[in-house]
Chains A and B, each alone.
Chain A
Amino acid sequence: MTGKKSIALRKDGPSAKMMEICSVHVGSTLFGVPITHILEIVGNTHPHAVPLAPVFVGGLLHYRGEVLTTVSMRQLLGLPATEGRQDIMVLENKGSCFGLLVDSVGEVLTISAADREPNPSILDTRRQEIFAGACKLPQGLLIMLDPERLDPMRLGAAA
């Protein structure tokens, strides 16, 4: 939380067109999540598996006295599961929380709205659903993620 504030202070000038995102790696792809939705990053962890759960569920996470459902980005993208530990982002969406299981969390980037593009039409419907456009960074494309689209409730209803 404090991290968010200090980053906000570091920025100069009015930034109506700028936004901060946290980059995450899943497989070889770079994704970004707006930091306004991130409550905490729980690093290097192993969520508790839930037998019979829908495929996209990465397991359970014990977070401050609550038991959160996590969504596995790998499963969502149809990538093979990794051995070993992963990072979990605790995201907040409309008052409820859930975890997003990713390979690793990168850094906080400031992007401008001008660099953002909507989803290209050639994506399959599944990906159209979960991606929220792309962002043209100097080092390559970053896929934007929207916590609302990743909410397990919504994914569960769609499945």
Chain B
Amino acid sequence: MDDLTREFLIESQEGLDRMERCLTDLEERPGDTNLLSDIFRSVHTIKGTTGFLGFKRLEKLAHAGENLLGALRDGKLSASQPVITGLLQLLDALRSILSIIESSGLEGETDEEVNDSELIALMHELQHPGDALHSATNVNRPALVIEANTTLTHTSAKASPPALQEPDTAPPPPSQSAAAAENDALKSEAAETSRPRQSAASESTLRVDITLLNRMMNLVGELVLTRNQILQATGADPAFTMLSRRLDMVTADLRESVMKARMQPVSSVFSKFPRIVRDLTQLLNRRVKLVLEGQETELDKSLLEAIKDPLTHAVRNSLDHGIEPPEKRIALGKDPEGTLKLRAYQESGHVIIEVSDDGGGISVEKVRDKAIERSLITAERAAHLSERELLQLIFLPGFSTAAAITNVSGRGVGMDVVRTNVEKIGGKVEIDSRPGKGTTLRLRIPLTLAIIPALIVRCLGQSFALPQGVLSELVHIPPERISSAIEWMEGAPLYRLRGQLLPLIFLDRMLSERKPVNGHAAIATHTPDAASLPQRDHFIAVLDADGRMYGLVVDGLADPEEIVVKPLSTVLKSIGIYSGATVLGNGDLALILDPGAIAIRAGVSLSTVQEDIEILEEEEDAMKSRFLLVEAAQRRAAVPLGEVLRIERIPVSRIEYIGYRPVLNFEGQLLPVEDSAGVLATAAANPDLPLTIVVCREGNRQVGIAVGNVLDVAAGNDLVEAGTHRAAAGVTLLNDHVTGIVDLGAIEPLPLAAQAASSWQSSANSYEETLA
């Protein structure tokens, strides 16, 4: 295919996308002349270029469409529903020819021209409704629409002030009244102010091949590493240090810009939905208003591609199962028109995309019955689950609540596909539903795919990267406990994690194993007892890889790092346990382990659902009533474990003061530090000793608590005040001692201006450092 044709295809597809958007908008604002001329332009461009390139089929179709659109634009015809449906059909036909050209370079079979001519005849018919006397629908429908228009005009003419300025648009249809023109003008003006014109943006943009961007990303990564090495090599020379700092800054900026270049607004995915919703509502006989929010939220191009299908699935689900037919909605006392909302926004390093409807919601009982019927869960187990936990069952493979299989959804491949697709790109799915009120599906997507958070582990003297997404916790086994902590069952190592037996995989053994005879070889053929374990520290990374829970035993842990994933050659990929490689901050290479493949290789089976949920429950419990027991100035206090984010040990000198309030500049953010026990004053006397700060989450902010020691994690019991039968607030029974709970809410927020001033101060500091 020559460049000209390729260019034409890209351009035409963009044009058709725009046309689709405009057509669905046109349905809401039938008189908007700007929309009409936009659509006209798209089709006209296609027609012009096809004639030049010699695609006769395309040209004929586009020509017929252009005629119809011309009539619409000139006001000889109004954009009634049959006209829009016809234009959408034309759009689909043009699209299918374009895709044929894309795959074969030719326009396709001539026998399809029969369809073409039908479509052309339809265009003609729509253009001259009077000629088609034999077709009853075509005569009646436009008349109905005009009627509807006049009533609408009537009401809004009263409401709108008569002295409205007429924008410079094409003359309104002569058949309509002056009030109608005003009304249209009002509408198009509103449309113009609310949505910036897209054509203006296209002049300042440039199409770039995605492979070029990937290459740039790679080179920037390389630059970062070279910079790191320069920084290490030139530590002593002050002049050089300054230069390398500049290099540092420029590199960081460059990296950010390249990452930004890969970002696209979610509107490029959202824009498909007005059409999908329109088609589905007609098919399913629903009345639905689609609301799109946060379209400007940006996401990496490859991630956008990946969420397209899950989102479509979720929207179909909402329309098919969620929003009720209008009659039923009226009977329930709801607005007959349902609302489907797609909302995108950023939240702490993730983009959240919500699909919410105000439909019937999900019946928890039905979900439970279905899960039991499909033996996804036992009845006894189900009785113990909370409503929220029951709802999550719909993500299990083979679950579908549709009473009947429709051609929209309900083929049994339902939400589990959504979940798998989203998890594949490192995202998460949550569902909330209230019966009778509606359902909200929330997709949590990482900002970029190219960079993932990973824990670097050490084994066989090498570094390996373990994706954080699958990591649930880390267990350290000191040398003296190694023989008792790891138990052996006929050669299979196991660890008791809170009463549950966790299969273990020794990474070093697996990696030294040359060729596994079968899936179980990695564990079974090796020294089947504890005696051979070296007496040194062992670390267990507890992993949950697609429902396979196991512990990966490694020699050591290094820092977590944000890593850039580099692909491996096919030869190395076919080993099966590496998903890629990465370059660490120090310039070393590390292989990225594939936890799922490791589990399969070692023969770890899928944990049953029961176990999964038990762990969930346990976590839930842990959140509620477990406490971190701390000691400050000889007193004990409890911090709810669910709120604890990190425990940091820092030198006292890092504590700064705003007025009298101690604060900690932590990863560029300011934490207010609570010090009611006077730990800071004691610590100031001994500046060499590290200070322990418990970083907690409180509402939307983070706070630090200065403590002397972290003692334990324990489950607390409610204390009932004698005679009242009510649990006392602020205290709990921990290890048989009455312990006060730290009230995180009482920690005063920092004044906003102070935050700004401090960040200015710290940037001034670093500036001085640069100069020094």
Show the binding face of A for B, using Cβ within 8 Å: 48-54, 57, 60, 62, 64-69, 96, 98, 152-153, 155-156
Contacts and interface: CB of A to CB of B under 8 A. Distances in A.
Interface stretch (B2-10, B214-222, B537-545, B607-615): B214-222
A52 B577 contact: yes
Contact of B511 (A52, A64, A96): A52
Contacts of A96: 569
B572 interface: yes
Interface of B: 215, 218-219, 221-222, 225, 460, 462, 511-514, 566-572, 574-575, 577-578, 580-583, 587-589, 591
A65 B219 contact: yes
Nearest to B578: A50
- List 6 tightest A-B contacts by C-beta distance, closest first: A65-B218, A51-B511, A156-B571, A65-B222, A48-B589, A69-B569
Given A51-B511, A65-B222, A67-B589, A153 B583 contact: no
A77 B460 CA distance: 26
B234 to A, nearest CB: 21
B219 A50 contact: no
Given A57-B572, A65-B221, A66-B218, A52 B589 contact: no
A148 B479 CA distance: 51
Contacts of A66: 218, 566
Given A65-B219, A65-B221, A67-B566, A50 B572 contact: yes
Main secondary structure of the interface of A (DSSP, over half): mixed
19 contacts: A48-B462, A50-B572, A51-B512, A52-B511, A52-B514, A54-B571, A57-B572, A60-B589, A64-B222, A65-B215, A67-B566, A67-B582, A67-B589, A68-B569, A152-B569, A153-B569, A153-B571, A155-B571, A156-B574
Given A50-B591, A67-B566, A60 B571 contact: no
A69 B571 contact: yes
Contacts of A98: 569
A156 B514 CA distance: 16
Contacts of B582: 67
Given A60-B591, A64-B218, A67-B567, 11 more contacts: A48-B591, A51-B462, A51-B511, A52-B513, A60-B581, A60-B589, A65-B566, A66-B218, A68-B569, A69-B572, A96-B569
Nearest to A159: B571
A64 B220 CA distance: 10
Nearest to B576: A52
Contacts of A67: 566-568, 580-583, 589
A49 B219 contact: no
A49 B219 CA distance: 23
A52 B588 CA distance: 19
A49 B578 CA distance: 13
Nearest to A156: B571
A77 B370 CA distance: 62
Contacts of A60: 572, 581, 589, 591
Given A62-B583, A67-B589, A69-B568, A52 B575 contact: yes
Contacts of A65: 215, 218-219, 221-222, 566
From A51, A54, A69, A155, residue with most partner B Cβ within 10 Å = A51
A143 B489 CA distance: 55
A53 B575 CA distance: 6
Contacts of A49: 462
A50 B451 CA distance: 22
